[in-house]
Structure 1
């Protein structure tokens, strides 16, 4: 029972673990897809910002810079070497804003309004403030190997972020500032780095992420519940089948025991059958041969039994046989064997007897009890007598077959002599000249 309970628990646990692994794997796969979606969104934004800045810079470069009123936010650019950098129009000072200066000012506005930062940088910057950081230097070096853009999710002190960088290709208007650095049209002179805060991108997929997690949780619970229900019903069906098999097995065992009892025991008297008698005799002789003991075999045949059947019926005859069998059992030891061979013939096997005289006295006692009146169900009393023949191992015979033949022959001698006195019991011992005094039932 405990093993069955543990088996059911193990099956339930394995089922739960299976669905947990399956839904967990599916959840990880779908969350990975959402991460790729977030990365694609960040890539699209990075490209858009880069294109916007690149286009704006090209517009500025094609016009050789633009002038803006000097202010605290737009002071003259000390790195711009241009004799026309500063001009005065209607008494208002103006300063020239070149592409690099304009990029830095746009970056400040975008960072303030959207939290997105971008930086124009190079491995050989004119402005020391545009020096590349560690990540940007690695990407700039990859541009030298042919790459043109890079997107990567990185962990920063304030949380995750998506960093995008694309190469700046030198065009004709750029040579005004960068020709002195040795750049030619088509050269990679640097890049624009865009940093997009992770929460800004991840918030867009947050509803899908929550929905995916909840959906997988529900699917896991439903599948686990269905599996447990199925396993429970399967276990119930299995237990029912085991119960049925156990019941059928018990029935078969009882049937086999009944068949064995039919084969080994007489159904009317409950005494041993001929088959069991022969088996016990064989074993008794084997033990006696090993230990040097004496074994007796007594054949008993009832006299006057047929008239009881003819006069009072077979049911009355059955009663006589049953009572006779019980009287014989009561007259001998529990270790002795009493068998009914069929009809009104009986056998007594006495094993390990002390002497022939002890056996003879036991047979006399048995015959005396047999000769006692038997009360039939209707109150009528009848008396039957018996003829007995006894043979001993190893003095009279040395095999089961010869011992049976000797006892049977002695019984027929007693039966023949009993005809002279039909109302007495007779007992003859094989190969013995001594004929016992007739035994009366009185």
Structure 2
């Protein structure tokens, strides 16, 4: 019961917390009666009635019929209804902008994609985002008043208290405010966060978070990052810079400097671009390798996928590069496990498309560094949403604000 736990707090604060918890209980139940809410929450019947009536008024809850009687009048049953309002999610990537509209249950209604005009700079990219939003709304012929907000997943260091993107190596942005710039073009509430934390939020709202309260989402894509969920909530750190997992130093003797400006970081050696760059540096002295043949001799077209495909074909150089990268992944994930003691680690990003070879090597290398005195078998799982993991997270960024009553209806 939240009311008794927060006696020293403002009444409106306690009321909001109770409302959040009642809505959560209704969402997690297929259907539930007010009497059951009273029993489960430890709140008074009048308090539950007031909260439920408010949620019905907000069109978040509907009555679905009547339950079985235990001796008196049959109870009216309630369920969550997320079909009346909508949110927009945007996966803001350096190559493309993907956007979708969903209802509050996370069901995609329609989506759109356009190439990112990265070379034209920050203001042009923001204009593109506004154009994508406009196209989505027009395609669905949606009343803008039914859209509760826009959520964006953005690569970079984002200051929690003011939304300032201090640095994004992918976009080469420094000290820019996405909300301020986008507000010049759109009137909707705008929310954004680091791409991997957003992906973790998607898992929390719609994926593994239904069963686990302590887990880590790791992006294994062009770059590397981690979104950390502790006790059912995202962990930000003191400034919002937590989860910069890719910048962990895993080989201080390696001379290669990655895009983050660090020598020997996990990202520089084991990300999508890191694997590709390693292959480009080594392929010229391995004439027997098939890697260059795969890209018809065009060195600049070598990707991590090229390396993985050649490794599957038993190319010795590709196997060497892939195994080295997986060794680094083993060191990095072992550090996360020992630091945070998660129930599950969820992996998303392009590298998981390598198939079971990726997950097999990952598990093998984690076990190499396992702390044998402590029995701690952490599940390593692919994202619940595949290629839609980031977009689902961007939608969830707004949905979570709605469910926490942090944005207006």
TM-score by length of 2: 0.21
Q: Which of these two proteins has the greater Rg computed from alpha carbons?
A: 1
Larger proportion of helix: 1
